[in-house]
Amino acid sequence: MVNLLELKPPVATTTLAFSCHSDDLRLHRGEEEPLLGHLLFGLFVFEQDRSSGLREPQPPPPRRQCFKLEVMIKTLEWTADGVRFIDQTRLPTEEIYLTSRTYREVADAIVTMVVRGAPAIGVAAALGVALGARDSQARTMADFRAEFDVICNTLAATRPTAVNLFWAIARMRETFAASGGAGDDPGSIEKIRDALLAQAQRMYLEDIAACEQMGAHGALLMPASGGILTHCNAGALATCGYGTALGVIRSAVALGKTIHVYADETRPFLQGSRLTAWELNKDGIPTTVISDNMAGAMMAQGKIQAVIVGADRIAANGDVANKIGTYTVAVLAAEHKIPFYVAAPWSTVDIDTPSGATIPIEQRNPREVTHMGERQVVPDGVKVENPAFDVTPNRFINAIITERGVARAPYQESLAKLSAGRALANFTFNNLSH
Are the CB atoms for 109 and 100 separated by under 8 Å? Answer: yes
Catalytic residues: 312
Separation of alpha carbons 391 and 358, rounded Å: 10
Q: Is 362 exposed, middle or buried (0-12, 13-18, 19+ CB in 10 A)?
A: middle
- DSSP string of 314-370, one letter each residue: EETTS-EEEETTHHHHHHHHHHTT--EEEE--GGGEETTS-SGGGS---B--THHHH
Helix, strand or coil, per DSSP, at residue 58: strand
Output DSSP code: residue 247.
Answer: H
CA atoms within 13 A on the CB side of 323: 24
Q: Is 355 exposed, middle or buried (0-12, 13-18, 19+ CB in 10 A)?
A: middle
Distance of CA 254 to the CA centre of its chain: 19
Sheet with strand 97-100: strands edge to edge:
76-79, 82-86, 97-100
CA atoms within 13 A on the CB side of 138: 26
